[in-house]
Chains A and B, each alone.
Chain A
Amino acid sequence: MPVPKRKHSNSRTGKRRANWKLTAPNLVKCSHCHQSRMPHRACPYCGYYGGREIVSIKEV
């Protein structure tokens, strides 16, 4: 059965993982409350989407 000949070093693990990168979300401004929100989603702060209130947000 084929088995690894050498230990997979920490360095190699690190090199592989060096290419894992996070990308920042592309946020847009809500046209109603001007908070940053995700595009194509209802605004989580005011509940508006496409110029009207889609869901009412409970204020805590």
Chain B
Amino acid sequence: MRHRKDTVKLSRTRSHRAALVSNMVTSLFKYERIKTTITKAMVIRRDAEHMISIAQKGTLAARRQVATVVKDQTVLRKLFDVIVPRMKDKKSGFISIVKLWPRHGDAALLAQMELFGAPAKVKPEEAEKKAKAAPKKKAEKKEEAPKAKKEKPEKKAASAKATADKAEKKEAKKAE
């Protein structure tokens, strides 16, 4: 029976797990948007949302309670002064998790965690680079880059097509 076994252990000892949660929650508040595995994301969401709920009280006691997990003073200040005011009309759903794709290396499904009301662009610098790169690019780079761009999507599309084709064939077989 697996009754009441709600703890995800993440293959870590209790103290290791607590340290991981502390670090990850701090990172989430610091960067507002973090990429991790889906399993860790689900574990960290619980603690992070709990911290925001406590922080919404805004009292000194609340601050000390949150400080046991968020050990970075600057991040703690940011949580109380920047993040919480943004969420004053919310009682839950402070964090959204979007599933991404399997990681190269161990095929663990990645996910992105994002605080409610986080700055819109993923990485402003990269967006700017993209915008600049498109019209201005040097002639040499221009020739090289688009080729590489084209090749990859084609390959991926081909494999996607292959799987789609297989699916169709199977369905056809079933129909027969």
Contacts and interface: CB of A to CB of B under 8 A. Distances in A.
A36 interface: yes
B122 A24 contact: no
Interface of B is mostly: helix
B152 A54 contact: no
Contacts of A50: 98
A44 B164 CA distance: 17
Classify chain B's interface size: 20 to 34
Contact of B98 (A49, A56, A59): A49
Interface of A is mostly: loop
Contacts of A54: 98, 100, 112, 122
A24 B165 CA distance: 10
B99 A24 contact: no
Interface in A4-60: 24-25, 27, 35-36, 38, 40-42, 44-45, 47, 49-50, 53-56, 59-60
Interface in B123-141: 123, 126-127, 130
Nearest to B156: A45
A27 B100 contact: no
Classify chain A's interface size: 20 to 34
Given A41-B101, A42-B100, A44-B100, A25 B148 contact: no
A27 B163 contact: yes
Nearest to A41: B99
Contacts of B122: 47, 53-56
A38 B167 CA distance: 14
Contacts of A56: 122-123, 126-127, 130
A47 B100 CA distance: 8
Interface centre among A27, A40, A41, A60, by most B CB within 10 Å? A41
B19 interface: no
Interface of B: 35, 98-101, 112, 121-123, 126-127, 130, 145, 148-149, 152-153, 156-157, 160-161, 163-164, 166-167, 170
14 contacts: A27-B163, A36-B160, A36-B161, A36-B163, A38-B101, A42-B98, A42-B99, A42-B100, A45-B156, A47-B122, A54-B112, A55-B100, A59-B149, A60-B148
